[in-house]
Amino acid sequence: MTDTQETRLWLIRHALVEENARLIVYGTMDVELCPHTLEAQAGMYAALARRLPRPAHWMASPLIRTQRTAAAIFRAGYAEQTLEIVPGLIELDFGGWQGMRHHEVPPLLRDDPHAFWPLSGTERPPGGESMADGIVRMGETIERIARDHVGEDVVVVTHGGVIRAAIAHAVGLAPDMALHFSVENISLTRLDRMARGWRVACVNELPGV
């Protein structure tokens, strides 16, 4: 790969989920988007549709909230695309803690929680993944995408934990450091795979703001 053949990954976090889901640790659970937010943020979706490259290969995680976010971008002005569903893009798995209310988790932790995440970067929920595990998974996933799409733009609609893990792989961050990044709903993060390594073009860019 030469630097003229860089692969550009346009990572978008899914839209805000519905109110009841926000009360629990949902991780890899399939939860719906908030319909009111989708309507209220129509201008932001239109701005994002204008910002994204054409042509581009589109990918999403297996969870419906990413696929419906992609559909909202298409309705806002980006011509509808075929979505490749990539299992490696799924959100971090909170295992046996999924479905629990947020206040029920801290007593179960081995380590102190992170300031900006329900648990530390190395704590693994029972049957689930730590952020450290997620960084390994996302490293493998984005390197494979970059190899398969050399010289292309790839739009990836995925999850906040996944995007933090991808940034950590790109720049060699420890798990706890990765959790300091703010990745808001429908924000844009871009990572470019060059011959010399990964370059961070932007993080948490909010469309139209």
- Please check whether residue 120 is in contact with residue 114, taking contact to mean a CB–CB distance below 8 angstroms: yes
| CA–CA distance, 144 with 154 (Å, rounded to integer) | 12
Q: Considering the chain, what is the average pLDDT of its residues?
A: 96
Least confident residue range of 3-12, 75-84, 98-107: 3-12
Predicted confidence at residue 4, as pLDDT, reads: 61
Looking up tokens 């609609």, which residue turns up?
Answer: 157
- DSSP-derived 3-state class of residue 97: helix
How many folded domains does the chain comprise? Answer: 1
Give residue 3's pLDDT band: very low, low, confident or very high (50, 70, 90). Answer: low
Contacts of 55 (CB under 8 A, 6+ apart): 153
The separation between CA 170 and the C-alpha centre of its own chain, rounded to angstroms, equals: 14
CA distance linking residue 131 with residue 168, whole number of Å: 10
Summarised one tens digit per residue, pLDDT across range 44-71 is 999 999 999 999 999 999 999 999 999 9
Q: What is the domain extent for residue 59?
A: 3-205
What is the pTM assigned to this prediction?
Answer: 0.96
With H, G, I as helix, E, B as strand and everything else as coil, classify residue 197: strand
Residues near 128 by Cβ (< 8 Å), separated by ≥ 6? 27, 92, 93, 94, 95, 96, 97, 98
- H or E element at residue 58: strand 57-60
83, containing H or E segment: strand 83-85
What's the whole-number mean pLDDT along residues 145-162?
98
Distances (CA, A) of 20 to 30, 34, 36: 13, 10, 13
Q: What's the CATH number where 81 sits?
A: 3.40.50.1240
Choice among 1-5, 104-108, 170-174 with the minimum mean pLDDT: 1-5
Tell me the mean pLDDT in the region 162-187. 98
Instruction: State the Cα–Cα distance between residues 31 and 26, nearest whole angstrom.
Output: 8
CA dist., res. 128 & res. 112, Å (int): 18
98-119: average pLDDT: 95
* For residues 13-28, average pLDDT: 97
| Paired sense of beta strands 197-205 and 57-60, if any | unpaired
